[in-house]
Structures are given as structure tokens and as C-alpha cells.
Structure 1
Amino acid sequence: MLTIIGCGNLNRSDDGVGVIVARRLMDWINARGISDVPVFDAGTAGMDVMFRARGAKKLILIDACRSGSEAGAVFQVPGAELAQGHDPGYSLHDFRWDHALYAGRRIFGADFPTDVTVFLIEAAELGLGLELSEPVQRAADQVVDDIKAIIERHAVRAIV
């Protein structure tokens, strides 16, 4: 089963791009009667990523990034390259999706996906705001189309 998880904060401009992409994909999947591709909005909760990914065979994560690249640049990266261990802290807010990939594999073993792809979109603006910047909106459109093609290869249509 393919699972898709969008991450980010909708109140911080481009940081919400992962959630926006996930919601657009959710609407598209529902409109087509696709029954076996769950899509989740994990917001900023790494623990949600870990538990939602459990049981998936293939996982796609979408989030904003700040790497110093041109705004709207899209990076498609294998999850294994981004998984990071987590030093225990006093707040669950410190447990991000990259920590979830690392911990989920160790906690859930074979019940955690090894086929993980992360789409990262370079943010232009991370301040308070509800809109995506123009370059990030264009990148979101591209990522939605790229993931739709992946879904088409994996999806089963519901009998309607």
C-alpha cells in the first residue's frame, strides 16, 4: 500500500506546502474513487508520521525545506538519506518526520516502509501568513502532478 503524508504549518506561509499538496491529493483521490492510497496531514507532528506510516509498503512525504537553493526548487530524496536519530528531549515538538523515519524503522521493523521518497520544496517565506509564495505554488503544482503519476501506478479504484 502507498501512503502519502504532508507535513508543515499552514500558518507559516511556504512551510504549509506539504499539507497543501497532501490536501489537494486527497481531494483528487476521493474524486476518482481510489480506495487504497491513504493521505494524511501530519502538520508538524513527527509522531503522527511514524504511526501513520506503519503498515505502508511505500511512503511519500512532502515538506518545505530551507537549503539555500532557489525558492521553489524541488528535491526528490530517498528517505533513508534523510532519516536521523533523535536525542531525547522534553518536548514532542522536537520529534520531526526525519526522526520518525529513523525511529519507526527501529520500533516497527518489517511493518515500517523501507521504500520512502521525500519531496522537499525550497521555501521563500516562512513568516506568519496563509498563502504560498508564487515560486512555491508553482513547485506545489509540479509535485502534485508528479505524485499523481505515482498514485496512478499503485492505485486500485473503488467499485462505484
Structure 2
Amino acid sequence: MDQIKSNPIVLLGVGNILLTDEGFGVHVVNQLREDYVFNPPITILDGGTMGMELLTYMRGMKKLLLVDAINGGDTPGTVYEFPHEEMNSYFTEAISVHEVGMQDILRIRALQEDPLEDAVVIGVEPESLELGLTLSDSTQAVVAEVKERVLAVLSNWHIIASPVSEQEE
């Protein structure tokens, strides 16, 4: 657990998996955790609907990659990507479809530690926020694209993602 608490790179999926597309970020990061081995290791966190408890997992964090459902007003299934310099607009416009309080969490973290070196938000426009455990067709259709974007960001951060299937050979 101490290694998790001090890892410099955090891949965080947030959302409520009980509300169809709101759980998009959690579904994506859990798939990445199952399908890949990352070197050097990163923290992959199912943030669910945690609030301030997330601070525990952000100690020592230098880079944050957040995957979320994003209410940007486009057609369902639209993929969004906000680099570090655009992240503040993501939080200040409150387009996250749930109330995780990420802006407050990052502000508190910034008071406790040095500023983040880099941060990226990747997400998708939800089709449904109804009660249900599976993603809608329009968001399920872009899961592979979002995973590729996540892997590209991690690659830019010098993280090598190897498929688990290659590890078993």
C-alpha cells in the first residue's frame, strides 16, 4: 500500500458504475489494469465516487491521467481530451457528470505537495445515466479509442504498456 501511496504516476477512473455511462472512467481503467502490465509500475485507481479519500492515493503524485464521463454537450460517444493547460476549464465548467469534487481534491493536494508536472483528462459524452451496470452502445463503441489515448499519454510519460497475454508466454 505504501508503494501505491507514493507512486508518481496515477491513472484514475472516476464515476458511479451503477449508473450506466457515468461509470465509464472506472470501466476503462479496470480493463487497462486487467489487460496490461506497466513498466515502470503506475498506480491504477478505481476512484469510483470517492471524494477526499482520493488524497491518500495521491501522495507523491507528479502526473495524473483522469478518465471520466464528460457532459460537454456533444453527441453521445464523443471523446474529449484535456491536456494539463486545459484541465482547469474542465473542472471550473463542472462538466464532469458527477460530483467527485476533483477540483477541491487537487487544490488540497497542491497545498500539501509540489504542483503536478502534468495532467490529462480523457473522457466520453454519456448517452445514459440511468440505473444499470453496463455502458450504452455509444460509449461502449469508443472504449478502445479511449484506451488507446490513455496508452499514448502514458507512452509520452515513458511508461511501457505490455499486454498481459505477452507476459504469459
Unaligned runs of 5+ in 1: 85-92
Counterpart of 1:100 (choices 101, 105, 109) is 105
How many pairs align?
Answer: 147
RMSD: 2.5
How much does 1:95 deviate?
5.2
1:48-63 paired onto structure 2 within 5 Å: 48-63=53-68
Question: What TM-score, normalized by structure 2, do the two folds share?
Answer: 0.75
Question: What TM-score, normalized by structure 1, do the two folds share?
Answer: 0.79
Identity %: 27
Offset from partner CA, 1:74-128 (integer Å, 9 cap, x none): 11113333345xxxxxxxx9652232122221x2231x52411111211000010
Query: 1:87: which partner in 2?
Result: none
Q: State whether structure 2 residue 75 is matched by structure 1 residue 67.
A: no
Closer, same or farther: CA 82–50 of 1 in aligned 2, 3 Å: farther
Counterpart of 1:149 (choices 120, 131, 152) is 152
Query: 2:3: which partner in 1?
Result: none
Closer, same or farther: CA 12–56 of 1 in aligned 2, 3 Å: same
1:90-129 paired onto structure 2 within 5 Å: 96-105=101-110, 107-110=111-114, 112-129=115-132
How much does 1:55 deviate?
1.2
Q: State whether structure 2 residue 9 is matched by structure 1 residue 2.
A: yes
One-letter amino acid of the structure 2 residue matched with residue 81 of structure 1: S
CA–CA separation in structure 1 for the residues paired with 2:151 and 2:15? 20
How much does 1:73 deviate?
0.9
Unaligned runs of 5+ in 2: 1-7, 93-97, 162-166
One-letter amino acid of the structure 2 residue matched with residue 48 of structure 1: E
CA–CA separation in structure 2 for the residues paired with 1:114 and 1:99? 18
1:6-21 paired onto structure 2 within 5 Å: 6-21=13-28
One-letter amino acid of the structure 2 residue matched with residue 10 of structure 1: I
Query: 2:33: which partner in 1?
Result: 26
Alignment check: 8 A CA contact 2:20 2:136 kept: yes
